Amino acid sequence: MFNKLIGKFSHDLGIDLGTKNTLVYVTDKGIVINEPSVVAINKRTNEILEVGEAAKKMVGKTPGHIEAIKPLVDGIISDFEVTEKMLKYFITKVHKENFALVPRPRVVIGISLDLTEVEKKAVEDAAKSAGARKVYLIDEAMATAIGANLPVTEATATMIVDIGGGTTEIAVISLGGVVVWKSIKAAGNEFDNNIIEYIREEFNILIGEQLAESIKIAIGSAIPMDAPSEIEVRGRDLVTGLPKALMVSDKQIREAISRTVSKMIENIKIILETTPPELVSDIYERGLYLAGGGALLRGLDKAISTATKIPVKIVDDPLTCVARGTGLLLGNKELLEKVVLPTSTD
């Protein structure tokens, strides 16, 4: 009864708690928060200084007593306390901006299928202590498919490849459930690390993570593009210890990230090999859906379709698909009950 009462005053939330970005969807409003999963903390007082975009700007630039923490690593909560603080900050922010009286929302959260029971419970507990009244955990790939309006409850295969920052989730969905799946650590962050390593090995120059990511976004591609491109990069010369600039080409970046692209393709093939034949024929007909920020890497769709002989489609707005899926589920109780993962309180 009490829960019902406070529920009335709060907006229900759909959350994509990603390694790289956290998105919050509010019923009737859409996505209201889309910020990096970073929290800056004053270590002396344990006080939160900044969360999200403002905290990301501090990464690698903090003085000794301030720490910019990324509480999720490879899709898994590595710092429970900070994740909880981050969620609490976002949930409170949503409620403040919406003049709600008591912030006790129902929350649908997209998570990796790869999480252990303990890790799932950590996500649930973090959301609860951040103020959630009821938590529903949904597999990210399922949330992606729902966000892309794909027919997840029908007797037909929907194949999703969600390339995030920490993990790539490969899943085949049919009749409201995940039939076969795999979660691998080769995703956006690994592309960035490939670029850091390449520039160190080829040029003896050290660059940071954020620069590597921006090079990838500016000129990265999985297959040769029509027009070649290059970009100026500044890093530290490991021989002299001094700053140095150099030009890097799209061809070099392609070479740097090719190992990770191959790893993704190999794992997609493994999933296809273990998918029941009827579902494979659906996939050949309907195609595979690419989502997550990694889907935006130029030519990755073509590289995958050439290697697998399957049509590849990129979902609309791949960075927000999971959040939109969790949002759609808030408004569709029947579907939510079909696809929700079991939680500790069930």
Q: Which residues of this protein are in contact with ligand ATP, per CB under 6 A?
A: 18-21, 75, 164-167, 187-189, 213, 216-217, 220, 292-294, 296-297, 319
| Residue 188 interacts with, from ligand ATP, Mg ion, none (CB under 5-8 Å by kind) | ligand ATP
327 binds Mg ion (CB under 5 A): no
Name the residue with the smallest CB distance to Mg ion.
Answer: 164
Q: How far apart are CA 96 and CA 109, in angstroms?
A: 21
Q: Segment contacting Mg ion (CB under 5 A): 159-167, 210-218, 231-239, 330-338?
A: 159-167
Q: Give 319 or 328: the residue with its C-beta nearer to ligand ATP.
A: 319
Strand residue runs (E) in the chain: 13-17, 21-26, 30-36, 39-42, 47-51, 66-69, 72-73, 76-77, 106-111, 134-139, 158-163, 168-174, 177-184, 205-206, 230-237, 243-249, 288-291, 312-314
First CA to last CA distance, the chain: 19
Q: How far apart are CA 38 and CA 71, in angstroms?
A: 7
| Residue 36 interacts with, from Mg ion, ligand ATP, none (CB under 5-8 Å by kind) | none
Minimum distance of ligand ATP from residue 330's CB (angstroms): 19
Q: Give 217 or 270: the residue with its C-beta nearer to ligand ATP.
A: 217
Q: Give 147 or 165: the residue with its C-beta nearer to ligand ATP.
A: 165
**Strand order across the beta sheet in which 312-314 lies:** 177-184, 168-174, 158-163, 288-291, 312-314
Minimum distance of ligand ATP from residue 240's CB (angstroms): 30
| Residue 159 interacts with, from Mg ion, ligand ATP, none (CB under 5-8 Å by kind) | none
Q: How far apart are CA 328 and CA 154, in angstroms?
A: 17
Contact assessment for residue 199 and residue 191, using Cβ atoms and an 8 Å cutoff: no
Minimum distance of Mg ion from residue 325's CB (angstroms): 11
Q: Are strands 76-77 and 72-73 parallel, antiparallel or unpaired?
A: antiparallel
Q: Give 137 or 199: the residue with its C-beta nearer to Mg ion.
A: 137
Q: Give 293 or 327: the residue with its C-beta nearer to ligand ATP.
A: 293
Q: Which of 10, 14, 17, 18 binds Mg ion (CB under 5 A)?
A: 18
| Residue 183 interacts with, from Mg ion, ligand ATP, none (CB under 5-8 Å by kind) | none
Q: Which residue has 């990511």 as its token pair? A: 213
164 binds Mg ion (CB under 5 A): yes
| Residue 104 interacts with, from ligand ATP, Mg ion, none (CB under 5-8 Å by kind) | none
Q: Give 71 or 293: the residue with its C-beta nearer to ligand ATP.
A: 293
Tokens for 143, please give them: 């949330």
Q: Give 36 or 164: the residue with its C-beta nearer to Mg ion.
A: 164
| Residue 297 interacts with, from Mg ion, ligand ATP, none (CB under 5-8 Å by kind) | ligand ATP
Q: How far apart are CA 307 and CA 326, in angstroms?
A: 32
| Burial of 311 from C-beta contacts in 10 A (0-12 / 13-18 / 19+) | middle
Q: How far apart are CA 180 and CA 170, in angstroms?
A: 8
Tokens for 318, please give them: 């791949």
| Residue 131 interacts with, from Mg ion, ligand ATP, none (CB under 5-8 Å by kind) | none
Positions touching Mg ion (CB under 5 A) are 18, 164
